[in-house]
Amino acid sequence: MAAMNALLAGARRPVTFLGEVILAGVAAVGGGWRFRMADFVRVLADTSWRAVPIVSTVNFLVGAILAFVGAVQLAKFGAGIFVADLVGIAVAREMAAIITAVVIAGRTGAAFAAEMASMQANEEIDALEVLGLPAIDFLVLPRVIALLVMMPLLYVFACMTGILGGMSVAAAMLDISMAGYLQRTSESLTWIHLALGAGKSLAFGILIGLVGTYFGLYTKRNAAGVGMATTGAVVTSIVGIIVLDAVFALCANALNL
């Protein structure tokens, strides 16, 4: 019986956390935010331009790898130009959003968890509560909003660098001009592909923000708890990203998108 109660309590905690974040978000939309704008700007900067170099580099390499694999096979049938279709659609619909989310989960999500777990261990969160500053409003909400805002922008950078990586390989291996490659890419890509990828990036951003702050907020108050929170946040975020992407794929297929 005690084990069952503990299991129910463990299942109730994330639901309660999600509900509190939603209520705080609704209040913030109405002008009732309680976090400091300076802290929000700091988090926004950390999740935006400071993440651009690694996001761009990884997506450039992914685009290059996709183009290389596609070029080897398509060249056998004299259809090398279609590597632009392959890279463009794959990057816009799937790879840019997923790769960016995984990078941000390992970089920013882990940082959220470690920072808040350290504050929990040092009893700083308790001090905020005593001062009448709820952790959900003051710590969690600005981080979730920052990722909600920046993930679509990072997705745009990821798409551009991924397509650039594919274009570089196509120009080197298949002697396709950059103008021809870009023209073929623009013909194959539609707004549906881009909207689907942007929608995924929004969902992934919310997921990473919620998971990172949740594990940081509800962890053991010791040094080991910081490591456990960081590991749990990264692993759960990556698994959640893959599961969420599968849900998007099923929905897109059902809607013929």
DSSP string, 10-40: HHHHHHHHHHHHHHHHHHHHTT---S-HHHH
Assess if residue 49 is contained within a domain: yes
Placement of tokens 């940081």 in the chain: 216
pTM: 0.89
Report residue 76's pLDDT band, with 50, 70 and 90 as the boundaries.
Answer: confident
Q: Could you tell me the maximum CA-CA distance found in the chain, to the nearest angstrom?
A: 70
Burial class of 197 by CB neighbour count within 10 A (0 to 12, 13 to 18, 19+): buried
Domain of residue 118: give its range: 35-254
At 231-255, the pLDDT tens digits run 999 999 999 999 999 999 999 888 8
Residue with tokens 């470690």: 114
Q: Is residue 144 part of a domain?
A: yes
Q: What digits encode the pLDDT tens for the residues 109-132?
A: 999 998 888 888 888 887 877 877
- Residue 254, CA distances (Å) to 2, 155, 257 in order: 43, 24, 8
Is residue 51 predicted with pLDDT exceeding 90?
A: no
Instruction: Please check whether residue 130 lies inside any domain of the structure.
Output: yes
User: Is 115 within a domain?
Assistant: yes
Q: What is the mean pLDDT of residues 189-200?
A: 91
Name residue, tokens 């990586």.
165
In this predicted structure, what is the pLDDT of residue 1?
53
Neighbour-count burial of 221, counting CB atoms closer than 10 A to its CB (0-12 exposed, 13-18 middle, 19+ buried): middle
Task: Confirm if 216 and 178 have CB atoms less than 8 A apart.
Answer: no
In a domain, residue 63? The reply is yes
172 falls within a domain = yes
Q: How many domains does the chain have?
A: 1
Written as one letter, the residue type at 98 is I
Mean pLDDT of the chain: 85
pLDDT above 60 for 2: no
